[in-house]
Amino acid sequence: MQNPPHVTWRTYADVMTRSARPTERLLQVAKHGTRRQQYSASTKRALVEVATEHFATEGYAGTSLDTIVAGARVTKGALYHHFSGKHAVFEAVFEEVEAGAARQITAALEDSRDPWTKAMAGLQAFLEVVQEPTYQRIVIQQGPAILGYERFREQEERSTFGIVQDIVRSVLESSTYELDDAMVETFSRIFFGAMSAAGESVSTAEDPRLASDRVEAAIGFLLTGIRTLAEQGVSVPDPAPAPDA
């Protein structure tokens, strides 16, 4: 019978280190994903970034899938692994541009505590966004035509509408108005519609800066009016009941 091997602290430490490596590997995978997953994510990100640049400069019709994969330095098979075609690529680009706009507007609200000041800060940030060439070309000019009006509104309401709704809600809740959720939703949609229309007018104006200043003054006037009425105790009338059939 052979004697058991002599176990030293060094060999014990080596055994424990080797046994810990699989656990460490699992933790790394859980945190960062596998190398294949990381590569896949970076490939998709590259495709979206290149497509954004070309959609913004050459437009949807002037951009081919060959141009996108060449710019991202991947194969067309890699593109089809992530997207069903050019329309799906555009939708991903639209979502990314809108998400970036939402982050920009949200960041502008962080230093504002007063709801009325926050509303104006959000308006100013939105007007800055709609003057950016990439946002103008992809969201305002091409979005409705490529996605279709219903899909365009659905995507838009997932990002910027939520911000507008929060702003409107905070303004109304800080006032003397006592409104139910349905009326707050109505106010939000009206304000959002005005903001969207204003954004389109700014993006297509010969002098976007002047148009932006006019919009800011007009909506600021409306907000001041709402605030003044609230401070005077003027209430929002309840909707009239529907007449009996």
Percentage, residues of the chain above pLDDT 70: 81
Tell me the mean pLDDT in the region 190-213.
86
| 130 & 78 share domain | no
| 120 & 132 share domain | yes
Q: Rounded CA gap, 51 and 97, in Å?
A: 11
pLDDT, residue 12, reads: 46
| 134 & 92 share domain | yes
Span 45-96, pLDDT tens digits: 999 999 999 999 999 999 999 999 999 999 999 999 999 999 999 999 999 9
pLDDT, residue 183, reads: 84
| 104 & 161 share domain | yes
Q: What is the pTM of this model?
A: 0.73
CATH code for position 46: 1.10.10.60
| 69 & 157 share domain | no
Is residue 128 domain-resident?
A: yes
pLDDT, residue 9, reads: 45
Q: Residue 110 — very low, low, confident or very high, per pLDDT cuts 50/70/90?
A: confident
Is residue 55 domain-resident?
A: yes
| 72 & 103 share domain | no
For the residues of 157-210, what is the DSSP string, one character each? HHHHHHHHHHHHHHHHHHSS----HHHHHHHHHHHHHHHHHHHHHHHTSSSHHH
Helices (H) and strands (E) in the chain, counts: 11, 0
Domain containing 96: what range?
A: 86-231
Q: Rounded CA gap, 185 and 169, in Å?
A: 9
| 110 & 183 share domain | yes
